[in-house]
Amino acid sequence: MEGASYEERLSRYNKFVSLARSIEENEGSLEQFSRSYETFGVNRLADGGIYCKEWAPGANSVSLVGEFNGWNSSSHCYKMLPFGKWELYIPPRADGSSPIAHGSKLKVVMVCKTGQQLYRISPWARYVIREQNSSTYEWVHWDPPRRYERKYPHPPRPNSVRIYEAHVGIASPEGKIASYKNFTHNMLVRIKKLGYNCIQLMAVMEHAYYASFGYQVTSFFAASSRFGTPDELKELVDTAHSMGLFVLLDVVHSHASKNTQDGLNLFDGTDDCFFHSGARGTHLLWDSRLFNYSNWEVLRFLLSNLRWWVEEYYFDGFRFDGVTSMLYHHHGISTSFSGNYSEYFGLQVDEDSFVYLMLSNYMLHSFYPDFITVAEDVSGMPTLCRPMIEGGGGFDYRLAMAIPDKWIQILKELKDEDWNMGNIIYTLTNRRYGEKCIAYAESHDQALVGDKTLAFWLMDAEMYTNMSVLTPFTVVVDRGIQLHKMIRLITHALGGEGYLNFIGNEFGHPEWLDFPRIGNNESYHYARRQFDLLDNHLLRYQQLNAFDADMNNLEEKYGWLAAPPAYVSEKHEGNKVIAFERANLLFIFNFNPEKSFPDYRVGIDRPGKYKIVLDTDSTDYGGHGRLNHNTEFFTDAQIQNDRPNSVLFRSDDSDFSLRRGHAAELVGYGTLHCCENSFKVYIPSRTAIILANMDIHK
CA angle, 105 then 108 then 110, to 5°: 150
- Residue pair 13/5 in contact by the 8 Å Cβ criterion: no
Measured CA to CA, the distance from residue 448 to residue 426 in angstroms comes to: 27
DSSP secondary structure, 649-684, as one string: EE-S-TT----SSSTTS-GGGG--EEETTEEE--B-
Residue 411 DSSP one-character state: H
Residue 478 annotated as catalytic: no
Residue 43 DSSP one-character state: E
Q: At what angle do helices 351-367 and 2-27 cross, to 10 degrees?
A: 60
All residues at 6 or more sequence positions from 124 whose CB lies less than 8 Å from its CB, including other chains: 37, 40, 41, 42, 54, 221, 301
Q: Which residues pair with 633 in a beta bridge?
A: 610
Residue 321 annotated as catalytic: yes
Query: Given 376, 435, 506, 665, which residue is catalytic?
Result: 376
Q: Which residues pair with 41 in a beta bridge?
A: 53
Measured CA to CA, the distance from residue 383 to residue 389 in angstroms comes to: 11
Amino acid found at 546:
A
Query: Given 250, 321, 350, 615, which residue is catalytic?
Result: 321
Q: At what angle do helices 351-367 and 296-311 cross, to 10 degrees?
A: 30
- Residue pair 559/583 in contact by the 8 Å Cβ criterion: yes
Measured CA to CA, the distance from residue 602 to residue 600 in angstroms comes to: 7
The three-state DSSP-derived secondary structure of 60-128 is EEEEEEEHHHCCCCCCCECEECHHHEEEEEECCCCCCCCCCCCCCEEEEEEEECCCCEEEECCCCCCCE
- Residue pair 411/460 in contact by the 8 Å Cβ criterion: no
Catalogue the active-site residues: 321, 376
